[in-house]
Amino acid sequence: MTEKRARRTYTKEFKNQIVQLHENGKSRTDILREYDLTSTTFDNWVRRHKATGSFEEKDQRTDEENELIKLRKENQRLLMENDILKQAALIMGRK
């Protein structure tokens, strides 16, 4: 059986360096072997860099995804406010 690899984090500078090596002609196999990277990690970095020039997940979202996140947060806040008002009405009704 293969051992599960511990999750590692990388700096933006390191990710940029790896993508630049690839863009300058270094083979994918050599980069993966030399820097002990998984193919999925490497492919995600290259894809994200080509798409937006950023590695941040928030920079990869579409305008619709950002709006959906904003609306979900607002909906959650409004639900909490509604619950507070219901509880206050119950308390005031008892007095």
Distance CA 72, CA 29 (A): 42
User: CA 43, 47, 52 angle in degrees (round to 5)?
Assistant: 150
| Tens-place pLDDT, residues 57-76 | 777 778 898 899 999 999 99
pLDDT for residue 35 is more than 90: yes
> In this prediction, what percent of the chain has a pLDDT beyond 70?
93
3-state secondary structure of 14: helix
pLDDT for residue 1 is more than 80: no
pTM above 0.85, yes or no: no
More confident residue, 58 or 11: 11
Distance CA 34, CA 14 (A): 13
pLDDT for residue 41 is more than 80: yes
